[in-house]
Amino acid sequence: MCIKKNTTARLATMAAAVNEERLAGDVKFFNRYTIIGGLYGVTSSSIYNALLRRPVIAGFHKHIIGVTIGMFVGYKVAQWQDKKWAETVYLMGEYRERNSHLFNDEPSKTHMEFEGTYHPRT
């Protein structure tokens, strides 16, 4: 139980440090998630109008609200994804630093160094 509390506390302080250094405004507002969310907002309101047998563009305020909500959700998804990637990179770097004996930095051998030259039988 004590190990879990220490790990959680360390991750919380690490996430705060990563958040301040890397993620404080790193996400652009127009990214693929905001565009996908905006398109989802437009299509959902259009499908709703089509199902009610109204003109597709009727109630333009619904389209604007759908785009706004979709873009906001997409922006938050991009922030969450960047935070998760930053935590993963940090934890992998910390693991590699603590267990450097498991990782050798010398270049890997090629197949020729293992097997020698290749002489096919004819």
Question: Could you report the per-residue pLDDT of 74-98, keeping only the tens digit for each?
Answer: 999 999 998 888 889 889 989 988 9
- Taking all residues of the chain, what is their mean pLDDT, rounded to a whole number? 80
| Chain centroid, CA 55 distance in Å | 38
Which has more pLDDT, 81 or 4?
81
Average pLDDT over residues 44-59: 89
Give CA–CA dist 113/116, Å, rounded: 6
**pLDDT at position 7:** 57
| pLDDT > 60? residue 54 | yes
**pLDDT at position 5:** 52
Q: Around Cβ 33, how many Cβ atoms within 10 Å?
A: 20
Query: What are 119's two structure tokens?
Result: 């002489």
